[in-house]
């Protein structure tokens, strides 16, 4: 009887020991996400010295220094997407043009490390009353979209959703209804208990009442709850923005934030865009 008990105990120890490396790797797995309004490559002369051709190398330098596991771009046009893809072949890109669901117009692109994540699901929805098709919402001045990805860490097996979006800069009703729609999409798509990250250029301060539905759905601003954080302006207008102007945000649910940072350093140009990128380091 003692021999049998010892054998069972030994088997339990072996099983637990075998599982421990995976348990510890899951517990300590950290990720870095960057949300970045890249500023579309404007018509010739519109941005002067801040034209895309003059700052694109600085954008590459920022991404190479930060080495994010995934990043979301807002306002990216096809030429900019091609440039980023050529410089970062280790990432997979998801997203379509907002004007036709293919190539035309700005893209809310998501890039993720191909060797780190498995793509389980992805898609684009329009921020409108008919999100499944190309459409303009409410009083918006532009087509607006959200690109989502459902990713699984190939090493730990943990999965999460990331929603990358850009709310309208003119339509107040469009911004309000877009937040409600995003909450609805998350409710429909995301299984209970699965971590969620939602971020982008939301064209509103964090105090805006339009974000109340996020709080009701337990989506919390990472900037406010990360133990290491800042409250720097995110829109710089190439040096001509009003202050304060914190309009780029990341909201999280079932995510452990470690650090939130607004990336304001000089990467070879004083301004790599009219927005500063924002960064979140997190655990799941």
pLDDT tens per residue, range 85-111: 999 999 999 999 999 999 999 999 999
Do residues 186 and 214 make contact, with C-beta atoms less than 8 angstroms apart? Answer: no
- Model pTM score: 0.90
* Residue 4 forms part of a structural domain: no
Q: Which residues contact 229 (CB under 8 A, 6 or more apart)?
A: 222, 223, 259, 260, 261
* Residue 210 forms part of a structural domain: yes
* Residue 207 forms part of a structural domain: yes
* Residue 22 forms part of a structural domain: no
On the question of pLDDT at 23 being above 90, the answer is no
* Residue 9 forms part of a structural domain: no
**Distance between CA 269 and CA 284 in Å, rounded?**
35
Q: 187: domain CATH number?
A: 3.60.10.10
**Distance between CA 7 and CA 76 in Å, rounded?**
61
* Residue 49 forms part of a structural domain: yes
**Distance between CA 109 and CA 146 in Å, rounded?**
9
* Residue 14 forms part of a structural domain: no
* Residue 235 forms part of a structural domain: yes
Looking only at the bridges linking them, the beta strands covering 159-166 and 196-201 are parallel
Give the total residue count for the chain. 284
Tell me: the pLDDT tens digits for 40-56? Answer: 997 667 899 999 999 99
Number of domains within the chain: 1
Q: Residue 83's domain spans which residues?
A: 30-283
């Amino acid at each position: 009887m003692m021999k049998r008990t010892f054998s069972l105990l030994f088997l339990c120890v072996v099983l637990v020991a075998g599982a421990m490396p995976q348990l510890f790797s899951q517990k300590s797995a950290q990720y870095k996400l960057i949300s970045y309004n890249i500023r579309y490559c404007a018509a010739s002369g519109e941005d002067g010295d801040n034209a895309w051709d003059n700052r694109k190398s600085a954008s590459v330098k920022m991404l190479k220094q930060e080495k994010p596991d995934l990043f979301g771009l807002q306002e990216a046009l096809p030429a900019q997407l091609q440039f980023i893809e050529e410089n970062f072949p280790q990432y997979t890109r998801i997203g379509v043009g907002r004007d036709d669901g293919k190539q035309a117009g700005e893209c809310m692109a998501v890039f993720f490390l191909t060797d780190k994540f498995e793509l389980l699901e992805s898609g684009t929805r329009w921020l409108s009353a008919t999100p499944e098709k190309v459409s303009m919402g409410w009083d918006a001045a532009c087509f607006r979209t959200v690109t989502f990805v459902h990713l699984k860490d190939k090493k730990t097996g943990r999965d999460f959703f990331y929603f990358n979006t850009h709310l309208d800069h003119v339509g107040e009703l469009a911004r309000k209804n877009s937040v409600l729609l995003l909450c609805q999409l998350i409710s429909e798509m995301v299984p209970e208990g699965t971590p969620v990250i939602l971020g982008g250029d939301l064209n509103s301060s964090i105090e805006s009442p339009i974000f109340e539905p996020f709080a009701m759905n337990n989506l919390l601003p990472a900037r406010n709850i990360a133990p290491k954080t800042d409250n720097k302006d995110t829109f710089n207008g190439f040096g001509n923005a009003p202050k304060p102007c914190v309009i780029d945000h990341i909201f999280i649910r079932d995510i452990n934030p470690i650090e939130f940072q607004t990336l304001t350093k000089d990467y070879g140009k004083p301004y790599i865009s009219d927005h500063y990128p924002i960064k979140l380091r997190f655990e799941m």
